[in-house]
Structure 1
C-alpha cells in the first residue's frame, strides 16, 4: 500500500512585480502610445499635470496661516476656476478646411448640369451608392428597387444615369469592376492608336496584362511588342482607386524620438522635444496633501505614489532611448555619412553589453522608436543587421547587400534585365557569397519585380 508524503522544496525563480511589468510595457510603447497613456494618467491623477507654455516658472506662494495658505495655493494654481473668454474668436479647428468627400465632389458636378428630376434622382442614387474606392458594388437591380420615383424608373434610365456619373471627374468613377475602371480612364489617352490598344488590353486581356506577358499579348492582338509596351505604360498611370483622392483619410505621421545632427567632425544626438512627454508633479496638491495627510486619505496617497513612479519612468525611458541612440550612432556613423552601403553588421547583444543592460531592453527600446538622420527617418532597429561572411573572410551587413542588389538592378539593361541567378553571380564576383534564394528574398524586401516583369522590348 502506497503512502502519501508531503515534502517542501525550495528553489529560486525570478518574477516581475506588477509595477515593474508596467514599466517594461511602457518602455516598449511607441511615443504616440506613451503620450496617450500619460494623458490618461493626467486626467485621472490629481498630482500630475501638463506644463503650461505660458508659464515661465512655478508660481510662488507666501505662507501665512493655514487657512489663508490653502486659499492662496488654490488661487495660485493656473487653470483652476472658470475662465470666461472675452471674445468669440474662431478656434484653429473652426478655421481648418473641411475635407471634400467623393460624393460631395460628384454632387457639385451634377448640380450644374441641366438634368430633369428623374435623371438627377437616379444619378444621385448612384453617387450615394459608391464605396470609398469609387466603385459601384450594388447591383443595378437592387438599386432600381430602392428608387422612390413615380412612375417607377426603368433599367434603361438607370443605365443612362450610370453613364452620366461615369463621365464625371475623377475618371474611372462608378465602375463595377477593375476592368471597367481602367477602360473608363482610357478616354484620357491622347493618342488614338494607343487609346484603342489600351482599351482592348483592359477589356479582353486583363489577366495577361497583370502578368506582364508581352509576348502573349503581342501574338493575340497581332501588334508589335513596342506598341504593347506603349499601351501598358499608359495603363500604369491609371488609378484603380479613384475614390481615394477624396475624403478624410487617416494619415499616419512619424514623429522621430531622436534627432541626429552633424556638428563639425562629430555627431550630436538629442531627444526630440516634440516627441517628449510633457508631465510634471502638481506641487500645490502635493504640498496640500503632505500638510493634511494625518487626516487619512489612503486613495490620495496611492495617487501620489503612482505620480512619483510615473515621473521616474518617464525619466528612465527618455534616458534609455537616448543612451541606445547614442550607442547606435557611434557604431553606425559611417552609415550617416555614406548611406546604406556603409552599414556595419550589428547585433543587439553588442549594444546591450556596451550599455550594461539586457538584450530584451535594447529590443524594446528600438521597437517603434524612430530617429531622424541626414539619410532619412529610420526605426532604431534599422541599424541592426546580421553579419554575412565575404570571400575574403570579412563580414558585411545584410543592409549593405540589399543596397548592392538595388544598385545592380537600377543599372541593368532594361532589354536584358538581371535574373536572381545573374545577381548572385555578380555578387560573387565582388567577393560577396550570397545564396540565390537570399537574393530573391532581399529583392522582394526592396519591392523590386522579378526579371520577367522588368524586361522591356525594343
Structure 2
C-alpha cells in the first residue's frame, strides 16, 4: 500500500485546563476548598481577599503628630553598649489585655499535651514505694496495659516476668497494688475482674455483694437482660437483682477510655436552608468561602505594553486568577442549584421528618438541572446542609425506593425511620421480631421482606429481638 496524505474532519471533546480546574474544585470538601483558596492566595500575586482589606482599612488608626514626636524625643540618640532596651523605652504591646488572656486560654485548651494512661500509672508507681525488683515488675505491667486499660495478654506478660527471675508471689502482690491505681479497674485481666475491682472500691453492702457475684459468674445473663434467670440462679427478688444490675451498668468497662485522645471533628455546612414566607430557600455559607478579587494595583501594571519577563509573569498570574475565580463562581452556582433542587424534592422531610422522605437518585436531579450525573455526584460529595431538623450530608437525601402495595414508591430512609420508631415503642419484655416488623409495614402499605428489615436494622446498628429482650 502506497503512503498518502488525507484530510479528515471530526469532532472530539477536549478538557481545557479551566474545565479541569472547575471539575476538581466542585468535588472539594469545605476543608479542602479552604486549603485550595489559601494556596492560590499564597502562590498568585493577582489574588487578594477583600474582607481582610476592608477590615484592615477600618481598624488602622491614624497616628497623631504629637504622639510620634513624643516617642522620638523619648529615645536618646546614643545608648550605652550594655543598656537594656526596657530601661530606656517601654513601648508596650499592641495586643490588649483581653486579647492576651484569650490567647493564653486558647493555648491552654488546645496546645496542652494530654497525659497518657501509661504516664499516669508510671507517676503513681513512682509514689508507691516499690523496691527495685517490685518497680521492675510494675514497669512491665504498666507497659503491657493496652489503650482500654486491660492486661490483654496476661499469660505472655506473666511468663516474661518469670523469665526475669521474679517470684510469683511478688508478681501477684505488685499486680494487686497496681490494680488499685487510678483509674479504677485498670490492669484487669478480664471484664469480670475489671468490674470486681471497681466494686471493691465501693462501700460494702448487700447490693454491692450481689453485684460482685453477678460480675463474676453471671455476666452472660446480664448481657441478655434476663432478670428472671438471674433471680432464679441467685435466689433473690427481681427488684434486688435489678438494683445490682443497674450498679454494674454504671461502672466503666474500659478504664483507659478517659486517657484516649478524642479529636473532635467539626463539620461546617456548605449551605443553609431557611423558610421565608412559606417557601424553603437555600443560601451559601459565607464563612467558608472568603471573598476574592484581582489586585487592582497589579492589574494596572499589566496594562502596560511591555513584553518583559516580569510582565509575562504577571499576565500568566492574571490568567490563572481569572480561571480560579470563574471556577469558584461556577462551583457555588452549581452547589446552589443542586441544593435547591434537593430541597424542592424533599420538602416533606423538612415539614414532617424522616418518615416523609421521598425516594431520590442522582439521575432525577441531573435530569431536572440538565447536567450529568457525575456533576451531581461531585456537588454532593463531602458537603453538608444545615436545616431546621439538623445537619445532614447532601448524599443523605438520596435513597433507593421500595414499592408499595398500591403501586407507589417509598424511600428506604423513610422505612428505616419507621423501623426505628417501632423498635423504640415496642414492649421491652416482648420485642418485635423482623418478621413481625415486616407484617406491620405491610399493614401500612409497604411491602418488604424479612431479610430487608434485617438489613435496614443492621444498618442502623440495632440489635436483634433476642438481644433487645429485657425480662422484668
Q: Same fold (TM over 0.5)?
A: yes
Is the Cα contact below 8 Å between 1:348 and 1:384 reproduced in 2? Answer: yes
In structure 1, runs of 5+ residues without a counterpart are: 60-83
In structure 2, runs of 5+ residues without a counterpart are: 59-90
Alignment of 1:91-240 (within 5 A): 91=103, 93-96=106-109, 98-103=112-117, 105-106=120-121, 115=129, 118=132, 123=138, 126-127=141-142, 130-136=145-151, 140=157, 156-187=169-200, 192-193=205-206, 195-196=208-209, 198-200=211-213, 202-203=215-216, 208=220, 212=224, 214=226, 218=230, 221=233, 226=238, 233-240=246-253
Alignment of 1:46-445 (within 5 A): 46-53=45-52, 55-56=54-55, 86=93, 89=100, 91=103, 93-96=106-109, 98-103=112-117, 105-106=120-121, 115=129, 118=132, 123=138, 126-127=141-142, 130-136=145-151, 140=157, 156-187=169-200, 192-193=205-206, 195-196=208-209, 198-200=211-213, 202-203=215-216, 208=220, 212=224, 214=226, 218=230, 221=233, 226=238, 233-246=246-259, 248-291=261-304, 294-297=307-310, 298-445=312-459
Is the Cα contact below 8 Å between 2:231 and 2:241 reproduced in 1? Answer: no
Distance 1:58 1:420, change over 3 A: same
Distance 1:387 1:189, change over 3 A: farther
The C-alpha deviation readout for 1:342-384, integer Å capped at 9, x for no partner, is: 2122222222222222222112111211111111111111112
183-192 or 217-226: bigger deviation: 217-226
Displacement, 1:94?
Answer: 3.3
- Corresponding residue of 1:78: none
387-396 or 318-327: bigger deviation: 387-396
User: What is the SS of the residue equivalent to 2:287?
Assistant: helix
User: If the length of structure 1 is used for normalisation, what is the TM-score?
Assistant: 0.77
Distance 1:359 1:231, change over 3 A: farther
Displacement, 1:253?
Answer: 1.2
Structure 2: how far apart are the matches of 1:13 and 1:337?
47
The alignment covers a number of residue pairs equal to 426
User: What is the SS of the residue equivalent to 2:407?
Assistant: coil
Is the Cα contact below 8 Å between 1:101 and 1:247 reproduced in 2? Answer: no
Task: Tell whether 2:28 aligns with 1:29.
Answer: yes
User: If the length of structure 2 is used for normalisation, what is the TM-score?
Assistant: 0.75
Is the Cα contact below 8 Å between 2:227 and 2:241 reproduced in 1? Answer: no
Structure 1: how far apart are the matches of 2:43 and 2:237?
68
Displacement, 1:415?
Answer: 0.9
Structure 1: how far apart are the matches of 2:305 and 2:235?
91
Structure 2: how far apart are the matches of 1:145 and 1:287?
81
Structure 2: how far apart are the matches of 1:146 and 1:283?
77
Distance 1:413 1:399, change over 3 A: same
Higher relative CO (Cα under 8 Å, sequence separation at least 6) belongs to: 2
Structure 2: how far apart are the matches of 1:153 and 1:286?
79
Structure 2: how far apart are the matches of 1:184 and 1:18?
65
48-57 or 217-226: bigger deviation: 217-226
Displacement, 1:328?
Answer: 1.7
The C-alpha deviation readout for 1:9-29, integer Å capped at 9, x for no partner, is: 987554534543342222112
User: What is the SS of the residue equivalent to 1:294?
Assistant: coil
